[in-house]
Amino acid sequence: MIRKSGYLILSASVYNIFESILLGYKYYIIFSIILFFVFASDILIFNLTTARLVRNIEVDISAENEKARKFSPKEFTIAFLNKNNSPTSFHYYVYSSDTFKMAGDFEGFLSLKPFERVVKKFIVTPNTIGRYRLGPVSVYTEDGMRLAVERAEVSRMVDLKVAPALSEIMAARSERISNMLYYTGIHYNKKAGQGYDFLTLREYVPGDEIRYVAWSMLGKIRGDDIYVKQMEEERIMDVLFLIDYGNGMNQGHDGKRMFDSIMADVIKTSYKIRKNQDGVGYLIWSSEVNVYIPPERTAAPIENLQKVISDLRPSGSFSLATSIDFLRRKIKKTTMMFIISSFEYDEDPASVRDLIGSYKAMFFIVNPYEFVITGDENRTLRTTLFHKQNSIMQKKREIMRRFGFRTEVVGTRDAYRKLVSSYLYAKMTNMGE
């Protein structure tokens, strides 16, 4: 393929030839013809020899498996095979996502002998969860005058599935077995029932079981009064996270993506909920993504979530109405919904309220400003943008609160804290009834 500079030089040479003929410059005609011949022959020889050789280079990119963990280096191997009868020199480069940190021989220059095979290795360190493509390998060469270039993509693409970081998961698991009293045994939902813990006393009515009569209180108030014990029945609450996975959640930059940060906080909150022996489930939703994990009182949904999100990227549009309509057919009315979204869509809050109806829900609005690239730009401008974005988020929050929903604006620093505190609030106020 001829470069733009090659076309420009050839065009200039032809122009000089015609100009010399019109003006009668005999020696300049000869000089222009020689230059045109040199440039044209260089391009022609390149396309007939070197360019053809590059197309006959075989490249294979491979790894032990196509699964990785966030922040964990993963080794890849590139094998180059020269299938030509003559030596071949070329440059190569591995295409990758902007969320990968690359190290090693992922780019370089090679000169291979006939039928020679060379193996190179490089390291990929993912910074964000999800499914990403690594490759293909681009092989290219150019002529000596740099008037033409030949480029070929000569390998397969690897779909790398990136799961949450072990540091995040292990931190959550270690907290589950720690002795942090603030999160231990929080079962504030008290209901009179067939439990084992004493709740209160009430007067005896016909039909009450004799075994619950408080004989020690017999006749102490009016002389003939009988009281029965009411026991506390421990209430289990299921929490379902409805997570927006539309394009609006794909904001951010390398190492700081909205969906990645939110999913890490959701996983940590899920372990807190499981530690309190409540159930947890998930709905990851957009026009192109629909993953439902039913609530269970085991660790299985959390482990399943980690596998699912390693194979997903936010895409499509998010509709709260359609996602709620889907959930109404799947969950019980006692299930607590945590709805997490950037809410970058036009949807009438009144219709959402009517759709949710008697179901219980809390809203978490993700502030996109916390995921912008920070730098040395004008501080006054950044401060103005921050206050404007914060004002927009607070208005959204107040609108949802006016319709009777507990709503919080969350970001990178406080999402986990607000998720946990909202769960505790739901427990203490019997929202899981």
pLDDT tens-place string over residues 338-358:
999 988 777 777 777 888 888
Three-state SS letters, 116-180: CEEEEEEEEEECCCEEEEECCEEEEEECCCCCEEEEEECCCCEEEEEECCHHHHHHHHHHHCCCC
- In this structure, what DSSP letter does residue 413 have? T
Tens digit of each residue's pLDDT (9 = 90 or more) over 245-272: 999 898 887 668 899 999 999 999 999 8
pLDDT classification of 234: cutoffs 50, 70, 90 = low
> In which band, very low, low, confident or very high, does the pLDDT at 191 lie, cut at 50, 70 and 90?
very low
How many other C-beta atoms can be found within 10 angstroms of the C-beta atom of residue 5? 12
| Statement: residue 188 has pLDDT above 50 | no
Class of residue 173 by CB neighbours under 10 A (exposed 0-12, middle 13-18, buried 19+): middle
pLDDT for 306: 93
Backbone angles phi, psi at 387, to 5 degrees: -65, -35
Find which of 109-113, 175-179, 201-205, 350-354 is predicted with most confidence, using mean pLDDT: 109-113
Residue found under tokens 């998720």: 419
CA distances to 223, 265, 432 from 328, rounded to whole Å, are 53, 25, 16
Give the residue from 130, 160, 163, 132 showing the smallest Cα distance to 312. Answer: 130
pTM for the predicted model, two decimal places? 0.75
In tens, the pLDDT along 105-150 reads 999 999 999 999 999 999 999 999 999 999 899 999 988 787 888 8
pLDDT band at 2 (very low <50, low <70, confident <90, very high): confident
Q: Confidence band (pLDDT; 50, 70, 90) for 189? A: very low
To the nearest whole percent, how much of the chain has pLDDT over 90? 40
- 381-426 pLDDT, tens digit per residue, is 667 777 777 788 888 888 888 888 899 999 888 999 999 999 998 8
